[in-house]
Amino acid sequence: MTQQLETIHKVPIPTHFYSYLVADNGSYLSHDAETGFSFSSETNDSAIWDRSGDGGFKHVSTGYHLNTVGQEDETAFSVSINGEAQTFRVAHGPAELPSEYLATIRKQGWVCLTQIIDDETLQELERTAGTDRFSHLEVDRSQPAICQNTAVARTVAEPLSLWVIRQYMQTDDIRLSHVPGFAVLGQDDGKRNVQGWHSDFPYHWGVPARGLVPTPSGETVLGVQRNVCVSPFTRECGATAFKLGSHALDRPPPKEWGDATAHAKPGYRAEHGLPYNGPEADVVDAPGGSIILYDSRTWHRAGVNQTTKKRAAMLQAITPMYIFPKNDTSRAYKRLLESPVYEELNQREKQEIQNLMVHQFIGPGGEYAITPDRELTEKVKTATTSGY
């Protein structure tokens, strides 16, 4: 009898995408029936446009028609707003309205923004990861991925996933809890250790880590995980395995499923086999360029890649500002400021990455950026090792 594996949830492949209309500084042309046009750094429903059959663009939620007929360039055009000519670029938008994605994650604890990353950006992510169309390339490990390619920084600042996360977490003040990078999964050899079932940072249920969240957090969402699928996510290629909806249980995964603590022990997999991978578990099968968002309480584990093809993803823990960060992001951010990538970003992207990567506390006289103190670290080490 063949073993029954995880249940596959194949996301529908969109046949149509909306558009964003983006100004030079990166802000989005938004429209509201009462107040008219405005510029916004976020992409809620007000920023969603659709090409209309008679030329121009229709504002999806109000039906307002923006006439661009007669302008020669199909990808950029000028519009008079409040008596001033403004230039806009047409950019790839989502397949569904932002409010629809938000309703989905509120209902089920996860949502897939299918192919939200445009193909040009996706190609650059593959290049930096050294996978898919660029699997022949050597990966540069000398500097953080965000400093290597504008596409990586642009993906970190992807506006729709951030808007959905902010709404779902009920706070605008959100942070990246570690430096964004690529998780590349190579072919499994049948015996190496694999990741067991767990909930993500900061809950860390099932993980042998310090500081895990001791009790259920209820309506207070302490983390949303943002998985950018660079390679297509399929069961065979090692897509993440989930227990979808388990965030609502607000407790750790069952030990008998093989949690991350057990599977972290040397030689555990070789002796005990893989963690639970039967039909109670789920795989979200999504094309490259999609972003899967899930409540960090959701039980999951890394997939097992059965193919010879490397699978890349950008896995990012996003937390509210009141959660202590998982790792330092300040040094990578300072390197970004000095890299040529930074100058290629627009104003919105620069501001968003600063919001996400600079953790601050309110001190006497203002806000202070938090960064490791090497001298103090050495002093503490000496004090700890010398005892009392």
The residues that touch Fe ion, with contacts defined as CB under 5 A, are 200
From the CB of 249, what's the least distance to Fe ion, in Å? Answer: 17
Do residues 121 and 151 lie in contact, with contact meaning Cβ atoms separated by under 8 Å?
A: yes
- The C-alpha atoms of residue 358 and residue 47 are separated, in whole angstroms, by 27
136: left (phi over 0), alpha (psi -120 to 50) or beta: alpha
From the CB of 300, what's the least distance to Fe ion, in Å? Answer: 6
Do residues 262 and 252 lie in contact, with contact meaning Cβ atoms separated by under 8 Å?
A: no
Cα distances (angstroms) measured from residue 350 to each of 40, 154, 180, 320, 358: 15, 9, 15, 19, 12
From the CB of 312, what's the least distance to Fe ion, in Å? Answer: 16
Residue type for position 226: R
Do residues 255 and 322 lie in contact, with contact meaning Cβ atoms separated by under 8 Å?
A: no
Query: Between helices 347-357 and 159-169, what is the axis angle to 10°?
Result: 40
74: CB partners within 8 A, 6+ apart = 90
Do residues 240 and 197 lie in contact, with contact meaning Cβ atoms separated by under 8 Å?
A: no
From the CB of 95, what's the least distance to Fe ion, in Å? Answer: 26
Please say which residue, 200 or 352, places its beta carbon nearer to Fe ion.
200
Please say which residue, 20 or 168, places its beta carbon nearer to Fe ion.
168
Please say which residue, 49 or 299, places its beta carbon nearer to Fe ion.
299
Give Cα 30 distance to the centre of its chain.
24
From the CB of 198, what's the least distance to Fe ion, in Å? Answer: 6
Q: Which residue is nearest to Fe ion (CB)?
A: 200
Structure tokens at 215: 């009790």
Please say which residue, 45 or 200, places its beta carbon nearer to Fe ion.
200
Please say which residue, 151 or 241, places its beta carbon nearer to Fe ion.
241
From the CB of 76, what's the least distance to Fe ion, in Å? Answer: 40
From the CB of 239, what's the least distance to Fe ion, in Å? Answer: 13
SS3 call for 81: strand
Do residues 125 and 230 lie in contact, with contact meaning Cβ atoms separated by under 8 Å?
A: yes
Residue type for position 114: T
Please say which residue, 98 or 253, places its beta carbon nearer to Fe ion.
253
Please say which residue, 21 or 207, places its beta carbon nearer to Fe ion.
207
166: CB partners within 8 A, 6+ apart = 42, 172, 174
From the CB of 260, what's the least distance to Fe ion, in Å? Answer: 8
Please say which residue, 255 or 381, places its beta carbon nearer to Fe ion.
255
Side-chain-facing half-sphere of 182: CA atoms under 13 Å: 31
